Structure 1
Amino acid sequence: MRLHLRRREEKKIASIKNWTLIYGRRKTGKTTLVKSALKYDTYIIIGDVNNAITQSDEIVRIEKALEEVKRTLKNGGIAVIDEFQRLPEIYWSLIASWAPSGILVAIGSSYGIVNKVFDRNSPLLGIFTPLEIGLISYEDVLSQLNDPVLSVLYRDPWIIPFIESYDELKKRIKEFSLVAKGLIGEVFKEEERQLTDLYYKILLTLGEGVWRSKEIAGIVQREEPTITSMINKLAKMGLVSKILTLGKENYYKVSSPPLSLILYAESKYMVSERDALIEELPIGREVQFSIGEMLAKYFGGQLYYSPKEDIDVVIVRKKKPIWAFEIKMGEITKSEALNSIKRMSKVSERVGFVSLKEKPNDYGDLNLGPKELMQIAKELSS
């Protein structure tokens, strides 16, 4: 599907007034955002340690490309260096000598580049300000797509050209399992790390819904401190998200909804090695956290999860739970609602229900169906 989704980050990029490092995981739409929102004069891509690609698709030596960047900056223009993480650091002092002329926007497809640029010994320290580009917010997609399930998948831009429905993801899951591993490998490459079997097993296990580091350590047969350290590294690479819980543990999950579902299918059914008809994936889990993120923004709080009480979404403000929500793909019956109210009332005075099928009856203090979710999304995205 050829679809351009407006993102709130477009306003930030369009209003850049100083040297800026835009960073994030690969394939999150950084280049597309810059090309659509920023009125630049010069644009180059660092191809490798020796070569760059110009706006006219000409392959030139890096030195020649940087000369064009320098001229643009000295004339007070805006220049973009894409794939900045590939630029050898020997050029950094040279680039620093051009500041503060013009506006230089560097795009880095890694999180490691942030640590390097803002290291105390970096010649670029104090010259750039950082701007992270992650997944598209759920509300930005939902407000334009009007499909609460597909909007969850479209939060990760790489999947948009390939599917037009959740069912299509399931039908083509074998194809996407191969694409997903390649994408993950590419992320590791840009972070200057190697995608080992152990890292991949951890991601597969997280995709299957196992979130406790102790359980993951048992499955992959490694010590828990080692696994915890590796999960934290995956989080720093933008592949894993850490969600706070009402207990002492953190809930870890694969950040990208489509990647999470694809890894689940690979872990559960080994779809990359055989043709398997997958009737269902844990899409409810991805819906739960995407809607939870949106509601947390709407109520000005932070998203928590409560596995002990089995509460889908808890919104916390100033360390106090202010809302608890039950989120379901289908309808919510009266008996289900009453049981949920008992659980949710233990942690929050106000409770709510969300159904993607239809607006629930007035069981809770707030009851949201597809139309109400759309209204919230539009309000947040306006």
Structure 2
Amino acid sequence: MRIIQRRIELKALEGQGWKMLYGRRKTGKTFLVQNFLDYDEFFFVGRDGVVYDRTNGGTMTSAEFINLFPRFLKRGRVVVDEFHRLPSRFLDVLHAYSGRGELILVTSTLWLSRRVLLSKESPLLGIVTPVRVGLIDEREILVELSRELGGRELVEASAYLREPLLIQPYRPSLREFLTDYLFSAGLMIRELIGETFTEEVKELTAVYEVIMKGIADGKRTSTELSSLLYSRGLIEKDNPGVLQRYLLILTDMGILRKLPVTGKRRRKFSYQHSSPLLDLHFYLEEKYAYTELETPREFIARAVNEKVPKAVEGFVESLLSKVYGLRPVRIEKPKLELDIALQGFNRLELVGEVKWKKRVKREEVRRLEDRLGKFKCRRVLIVPSEDVLEKKPEDIEVLTPEELLELARESLKNMERK
């Protein structure tokens, strides 16, 4: 059984006080609490409002649980999983007993994280410390999987196994595994995402879904997404400003990444899926409606081979940003696109390209030298192996899976020393 410790999230949960874990479903919130934290009482709230006592066994109604809650707080650390399913008066009870005992709240809903964490009127504002649990950190998954994998497979698998639900069923090779998984379990992924929006009205859910399909299909700005939604009759006007609340919620939950675009006078952002699995899923939905229509396995395999190198680009960019403490940005200049651009306080610190293929020809390396040579900062090239290069680039640092792994290990050690 593969177990990823998730030391980064555990560090955020250290210390006393009330905590609230939030994030998209199936990111390992409950597993993290059950297996790595000490607690005295663990309660799970079902969709019907029945409260299950996971520590002592038995069930109780919502009303019974709320009445007994003050007593539970006196017994030690209490966990309430999916607490948003309790009646709204539970929030008032939490406010009334704030500061007493130790409490961990867990939720997976978009609407509640927005209302409870970000609203000025929230009864929990300043009472709980929010801890977002998203995908597994790039450094942790890379180091953990290196115990059984190496080279190209290590990086490709790490990019996708940041998604906790893939960790146990995965078997090499990653591309064949993904093809089989999506071919048989695509509907499950669709339902997984649907559960995240169960508290939203259907019209809003349709907007969210089209946004995620559009981003997977390469529409990365609010302008492009607004045009898409307008063309499908989901918004009344083609106005990017209308989308901001949807994009904000999706980024707050960690479903999307929001990257600033440099080279533009007005403030502009580019969006992408945090999860390569969801990016692949929504791409297949947009192209083939693969969970509703019979789709040949070969179509899915073709999409997997197309998307994996892109997933590696995003994985390496995020990995290097965390290793060096830099912010990913997008460069928008005529005839100049870069796979990786990392910015310090006010200038670019690192630029790079990812060539995730079996052969990088001499001419391609020269073009790469010209393109990266325009930037007066650190320049890197990421390849699956130095053997794929017909020519070693000049003034460009070549990073292979082995170097990336070493960077991840050192970064985690530095973090633990702090």
Q: TM-score, normalised by structure 1?
A: 0.90
Query: 2 CA distance for matches of 1:94 and 1:356?
Result: 55
Unaligned runs of 5+ in 2: 147-153, 414-418
For residues 1-382 of structure 1, what are the structure 2 equivalents within 5 Å?
A: 2-12=1-11, 15-48=14-47, 50-55=49-54, 56-66=56-66, 69-75=69-75, 77-118=76-117, 119-146=119-146, 147-164=154-171, 165-190=174-199, 196-220=205-229, 221=231, 223-225=238-240, 226-227=242-243, 229-248=245-264, 249-272=268-291, 273-276=293-296, 277=298, 278-279=301-302, 280-308=305-333, 309-330=336-357, 331-358=359-386, 361=392, 363-382=394-413
CA change 1:114–1:196 in 2 (3 A) is closer
CA contact (8 A) 1:24 1:132 kept: yes
State the secondary structure of the residue aligned to 1:205.
helix
Query: 1 CA distance for matches of 2:62 and 2:46?
Result: 9
State the secondary structure of the residue aligned to 1:169.
helix
CA contact (8 A) 1:191 1:237 kept: no
> Which residue is equivalent to 2:151?
none
CA contact (8 A) 1:159 1:258 kept: no
CA change 1:213–1:296 in 2 (3 A) is same
Query: 2 CA distance for matches of 1:354 and 1:190?
Result: 42
Question: How far apart are 1:237 and its partner, in Å?
Answer: 4.1
Query: 2 CA distance for matches of 1:217 and 1:103?
Result: 44
CA change 1:120–1:217 in 2 (3 A) is closer
For residues 123-176 of structure 1, what are the alpha-carbon distances to aligned partners after superposition, in whole Å with 9 as ceiling and x for unaligned? 333321111111111111011113100111111112323432232112332333
Say which is worse superposed, 28-37 or 162-171, in terms of deviation. 162-171
Query: 1 CA distance for matches of 2:9 and 2:103?
Result: 17
CA contact (8 A) 1:203 1:263 kept: yes
Query: 1 CA distance for matches of 2:47 and 2:137?
Result: 32
Say which is worse superposed, 355-364 or 148-157, in terms of deviation. 355-364
Root mean square deviation, CA, Å: 2.5
Query: 2 CA distance for matches of 1:381 and 1:192?
Result: 42
CA contact (8 A) 2:330 2:341 kept: yes
Query: 2 CA distance for matches of 1:323 and 1:313?
Result: 8
Say which is worse superposed, 134-143 or 245-254, in terms of deviation. 245-254
For residues 186-227 of structure 1, what are the alpha-carbon distances to aligned partners after superposition, in whole Å with 9 as ceiling and x for unaligned? 111146665544432222121122213333344441614245
Q: TM-score, normalised by structure 2?
A: 0.83
Query: 1 CA distance for matches of 2:49 and 2:245?
Result: 34
For residues 39-82 of structure 1, what are the alpha-carbon distances to aligned partners after superposition, in whole Å with 9 as ceiling and x for unaligned? 1000101224642111145331123334554323224x100111
CA change 1:193–1:27 in 2 (3 A) is farther
Count of aligned pairs: 380
State the secondary structure of the residue aligned to 1:113.
helix
CA change 1:353–1:128 in 2 (3 A) is same
Say which is worse superposed, 97-106 or 341-350, in terms of deviation. 341-350
Higher share in helix: 2
Identity of aligned residues (%): 27
